[in-house]
Amino acid sequence: MWNLLEYAAWVLSALFGVLMVADLIRIDMTYDSELLISSREGEIEATAERHEL
Amino acid sequence: MEDFTSTAAGTDRIRLARVLGPSHVWALGVGIVLVGEYMGWNFSVGKGGMIAGLMACWVAGLLYTCVAMIDSEVTSTVAAAGGQYAQAKHIVGPLMAFNVGLFLVMAYTMLEAANAITVGFLLDTVAGMQGQAGLNQQPFIVLSIMFLAWLNYRGVLATLTFNLVITAIAFIAIIALFVSVQFGASAVPLDFSAITSDPLPYGWVGIIASLHFGLWYYLGIEGTCQAAEEVRSPARSLPYGTMAGIMTLLIAATMTWYICSGLMPWEYLGQAGTPLFDAARVTGNTGLMVLLFVGTAFATLASANGCINDASRAWFSMSRDRYLPSWFGAVHPVYRTPYRAIVFLVPIALIFALGAPLDQVVTFSILSGLLGYTFMTFNMVMFRNKWPLGKIKRGYVHPFHPLPTIVLLVLCSTAYLAVFLGYGTQLSAMMCFYIVASLWFHFRRYKFVRRGDQFTMPWPKPEGY
Amino acid sequence: MAYEPPKQSFAGQIFDVITLLVLTIGALYIPLYLGLAGAAKVPNPIANPTWEALGQNATEQQQWAALGVTDAAAANDMITARFDYSFSWSALIVMAVLVIGYFVMVVRLSDREYREVIEERFGTKRR
């Protein structure tokens, strides 16, 4: 039983790995790279909370 | 498109999804840490004996209460993904921020590796009890990391809701064990005679030495800050979730010490791989054994899950500022997660999980954490000096400043000494690593960083500059 | 005048990541390979081990049995193993200098960089 579980674990690991990498490649080809890295720190602050008294 | 926010300049931007509430913050903080009750803390008993183990538990508890108070104040004000990294960037300076970012990535990636190793070890123990000796642990180690990385990749809300459920179950398992042993469910009685017959096998130095692994009861509670950019109301949720987390852990840690020390000879406890599960085995009660097996498995998975979340946020934030290649600073347009950072850190975690022994990985993680706590002390003082109370709005102001800072500094120094006793070589190797990395950053990497853009908080100019 | 950083090529980005990786893995594995890592407990097994000689009372013997150790000889190594906490003061001083020196260096260099950041962010032009 444990031997089967070992194989199952290998297969599932590979599956999750492939899913992630495939999606990563697909997203990188679909979207503009400048858009993907457009997130900036502190935008919450600017819109939601002003830290001034 | 709904997924994007338009800025004043009219360009589309993607940012992390703001979907979390205080319970998710609790789940992230406690989820990362609770595994410390299921494994690792008991090495403190091995390093100093039973009493030293309890003292380490409470002294470390005090240290982390200070950490939680300080962190709540700073992070409720500097609410950005990357947590302490963003704090350091705004309060101390870029090189410190780079180092803090590395502390975070190292501490969490190593902890993630340690968790995966424990999953493998636990399954090996169970397989052994069923008569299958010598299980190949590798596929299970790889699977736990892969599955959790995939979960993280798919979105933060599902990830942390999952964490909330499994962390709650693991916490309830500890309470259930405590209560049922109190009501006599154990075939073997509790025995604390070693406290009187062999109180301090190493003398007083053992108490200091045991503090090294005493940190393990709570290590990672400060990870709540990493969620700042994904929490709906950071100024309220972060202090609330963090404080609730540290209280949960203080209760769980004391119960764990009591049960394990009572049910196992300290010589065994000091080297056990999964102490709470072993305690359940000693009771001879199958129900408890199954419950604590589930608890151990869930606690390790919750921890690894939170670690992937936190390490990737830190890596992502550093890349966004170009401290690291900007390629990693990308947000997934559909799932709204830092997907490149998540994928990149998977093989790193695997290298450590498959290649290094558990206590080394744990020590590396503890040391990175400890350096981070040392940073918090002077960070707090500088924060109050550069922006005194009343100059900017703080979500939470911690009481008795600067007492928690002083206590924290004293305890950190003691903890360095504790690590030095027995793991001095790692400490030196680690310091050399951070020194070399700092020089590399200052003289090579920093030239790619935009200076003024790093300061993103809408605060007035700091005093004294 | 705002500082305009150079644009980094893709190859340069990869090179930087590899540098950092080599550093990290080196820090963990070099002590391991040199055999310098870790505090191993040293067992001091006693001759003719019995549970009584090993200082285990009746309840503790029950506990060992529940953990699957029924023979005192099998627990001999585990019970008698102890850490060695003797250390040299010079090593302690070297460590203290490393840790303190590291923090002093980082804070000082950070402050120099921080002044630039503040100047650019809050320079006379903006406020």
pLDDT tens per residue, range C20-74: 889 888 887 887 777 665 656 788 888 888 898 888 888 999 999 988 888 888 8
Instruction: List the single residue in A2, A17, A45 with the smallest CB-CB distance to B127.
Output: A2
- What's the pLDDT band for C3 if we cut at 50, 70, 90? confident
Closest CA to B108 of B84, B135, B133: B84
- Tell me: the pLDDT tens digits for B136-150? 999 999 999 999 999
* pLDDT at B289 exceeding the cut of 80: yes
Question: Angle at the Cα of B107 (from B101 to B112), degrees rounded to 5?
Answer: 125
- Tell me: the pLDDT tens digits for B5-15? 444 444 578 88
Q: What proportion of chain A, given as a percentage, has pLDDT over 70?
A: 79
The domain tally of chain B equals 1
Yes or no, beta carbons of C5 and B92 under 8 Å apart: no
Picking from B210, B426, B438, B440 by the largest number of C CB atoms within 10 A of its own CB, the best residue to mutate is: B426
Q: What proportion of chain B, given as a percentage, has pLDDT over 90?
A: 63
Cβ within 8 Å of residue B323, ≥6 positions away: B94, B97, B98, B101, B441, B445, B449
In this prediction, does ipTM exceed 0.90? Answer: no
A32 touches chain B (CB under 8 A): no
Torsion, CA B441, CA B444, CA B447, CA B451, rounded to 10: 20
Picking from B99, B106, B188, B366 by the largest number of C CB atoms within 10 A of its own CB, the best residue to mutate is: B188
Which residue shows structure tokens 């490393």? C98
| Residue C127 within any structural domain of the chain | no
- Tell me: the pLDDT tens digits for B426-462? 888 889 999 999 999 999 999 999 998 899 888 999 9
Yes or no, beta carbons of B188 and C59 under 8 Å apart: yes
Cβ–Cβ under 8 Å, residues B205 and B280 = no
CA distance C25 to B253: 32
CA distance B393 to B459: 9
CA distance C113 to B449: 11
Question: Domain range holding C93?
Answer: 87-120
B81 touches chain A (CB under 8 A): yes
Cβ within 8 Å of residue B32, ≥6 positions away: B108, B111, B220, B221, B223, B302, B303, B306, B307, B310
Residue type, C52: E
Helix B286-320 × helix B94-129 angle, to 10° = 160
Question: Angle at the Cα of B315 (from A30 to B337), degrees rounded to 5?
Answer: 40
* pLDDT at B277 exceeding the cut of 50: yes
Clarify whether residues C52 and C72 are in a common domain. Answer: yes
Cβ–Cβ under 8 Å, residues B220 and B306 = yes
Yes or no, beta carbons of C116 and B462 under 8 Å apart: no
Which residue shows structure tokens 């290590």? B219
Clarify whether residues C48 and C72 are in a common domain. Answer: yes
DSSP 3-state assignment of C46? coil
- Tell me: the pLDDT tens digits for B192-231? 888 888 888 888 889 998 998 888 889 888 889 888 889 9
Instruction: List the single residue in B13, B79, B136 with the smallest CB-CB distance to A44.
Output: B79
Give the residue, B155 or B1, on which the prediction is more confident.
B155
* pLDDT at B158 exceeding the cut of 90: yes
Yes or no, beta carbons of A9 and B143 under 8 Å apart: yes
Closest CA to B260 of B359, B177, B172: B177
Domain ranges of chain A: 2-38
Closest residue of chain A to B454, computed from CA coordinates: A41
DSSP 3-state assignment of B392? strand
Selected residues 310-339 of chain B with any CB under 8 Å from a CB in chain A: 317, 320-321, 326-327, 329-334, 339
Q: What proportion of chain B, given as a percentage, has pLDDT over 70?
A: 98
**pLDDT given at position B15:** 86
Helix B22-38 × helix B234-263 angle, to 10° = 20
- What's the pLDDT band for B67 if we cut at 50, 70, 90? very high
* pLDDT at A52 exceeding the cut of 50: no
Selected residues 116-145 of chain B with any CB under 8 Å from a CB in chain A: 127, 130, 132, 135-136, 139-140, 142-143
Yes or no, beta carbons of A37 and B326 under 8 Å apart: yes
Distances (CA, A) of B200 to B195, B203, B212, C78: 8, 5, 16, 17
Task: Report the gap between the CA of B167 and the closest CA in chain A (Å).
Answer: 23
| Residue C18 within any structural domain of the chain | yes
Give the 3-state secondary structure of chain A.
Answer: CHHHHHHHHHHHHHHHHHHHHHHHHHHHHHCCHHHHCCCCCCHHHHHCCCCEC
Helix or strand holding residue B180 (H, E): helix B156-182
* pLDDT at A7 exceeding the cut of 60: yes
The count of CB pairs under 8 A between chains B and C is: 222
| Residue B377 within any structural domain of the chain | yes
Closest CA to B215 of B65, B403, B64, B70: B64
Yes or no, beta carbons of A23 and B153 under 8 Å apart: yes
| Residue C81 within any structural domain of the chain | yes
Selected residues 394-453 of chain B with any CB under 8 Å from a CB in chain A: none
- Tell me: the pLDDT tens digits for B297-331? 999 999 999 999 999 999 999 999 999 998 999 99
Cβ within 8 Å of residue B139, ≥6 positions away: A6, A7, A9, A10, A13
* pLDDT at B4 exceeding the cut of 80: no
Cβ–Cβ under 8 Å, residues A39 and B15 = yes
| Residue C4 within any structural domain of the chain | no
Clarify whether residues C35 and C50 are in a common domain. Answer: no
- What's the pLDDT band for B234 if we cut at 50, 70, 90? confident
* pLDDT at A43 exceeding the cut of 70: no
CA distance B48 to B55: 10
Q: Residue C83 corresponds to which tokens in the numbers above?
A: 């850490």
Burial class (CB in 10 A: 0-12, 13-18, 19+), B443: exposed
Clarify whether residues C19 and C45 are in a common domain. Answer: no
**pLDDT given at position A44:** 53
Instruction: List the single residue in C62, C78, C110 with the smallest CB-CB distance to B268.
Output: C78
Cβ–Cβ under 8 Å, residues B212 and B423 = yes
The domain tally of chain C equals 3
CB contacts of B188 in chain C (<8 Å) are 59, 62-63, 66
Q: To the nearest whole number, what is the mean pLDDT of chain B?
A: 90
Which residue shows structure tokens 């008698």? C80
Clarify whether residues C66 and C48 are in a common domain. Answer: yes
**pLDDT given at position C85:** 83
Yes or no, beta carbons of A13 and B235 under 8 Å apart: no
* pLDDT at C125 exceeding the cut of 60: no
CA distance B148 to B302: 9
Task: Report the gap between the CA of B201 and the closest CA in chain A (Å).
Answer: 41
Yes or no, beta carbons of C2 and B451 under 8 Å apart: yes
Clarify whether residues C113 and C100 are in a common domain. Answer: yes
Question: Domain range holding B130?
Answer: 18-452
* pLDDT at B386 exceeding the cut of 90: yes
B169 touches chain A (CB under 8 A): no
| pLDDT mean over B75-79 | 86
| Residue B462 within any structural domain of the chain | no
* Cα end-to-end span (Å), chain C: 14
Yes or no, beta carbons of B202 and C82 under 8 Å apart: yes
B283 touches chain A (CB under 8 A): no
| Residue C61 within any structural domain of the chain | yes
Distances (CA, A) of B390 to A53, B70, B399, B460, C95: 7, 17, 15, 12, 40
Q: To the nearest whole number, what is the mean pLDDT of chain C?
A: 85
| pLDDT mean over B14-36 | 91
Does residue B402 have a cis bond before it (omega within 30 degrees)?
A: yes
